[in-house]
Amino acid sequence: MKYSNTKQWEDHFITVDSSIEGIRDNILKLSEQIDEHIKQNSTDSIVSTNILRLLLRCQMRNIYMNNYENKTLTVREQRDVQDYYSLYKDLGGNNYVDAMVEEMIDWHLQMGL
């Protein structure tokens, strides 16, 4: 593009600079929105993980308490405990249930559901 005078060049430069500034502002706004979205999803994920760990721990504790006296598990209960425990540990569960699960694994196995 040829400019006949300096004023045209300056006007074009100001227009281009303004456009670049608008693009930069849009990028910053999008970046902020993405950061907020990531933060919100991260928080939601942490809450969901904590809730799931709590539910798994409660399920294992219920099986434990319901069968503690006779120290017997059905095949399904034993399988459930193993599945719950595996998920619990995968979700970062602490050692709270380790001894309980280790004890249940040694209990008598009752055939049937």
Summarised one tens digit per residue, pLDDT across range 50-77 is 888 899 999 999 999 999 999 999 999 9
What is the average per-residue pLDDT within 22-26?
74
Say whether pLDDT at 28 is over 90: no
Count how many Cα atoms sit within 13 Å of the Cα of residue 19 in the half-sphere of its side chain.
Answer: 6
Q: Whole-number mean pLDDT of the chain?
A: 83
Residue 3 falls in which region: left (phi positive, over 0), alpha (psi -120 to 50) or beta: beta
pTM for this predicted structure: 0.63
- CA distances (Å), origin 104, targets 5, 64, 98, 107, 110: 89, 7, 10, 5, 12
What is the average per-residue pLDDT within 18-33?
75
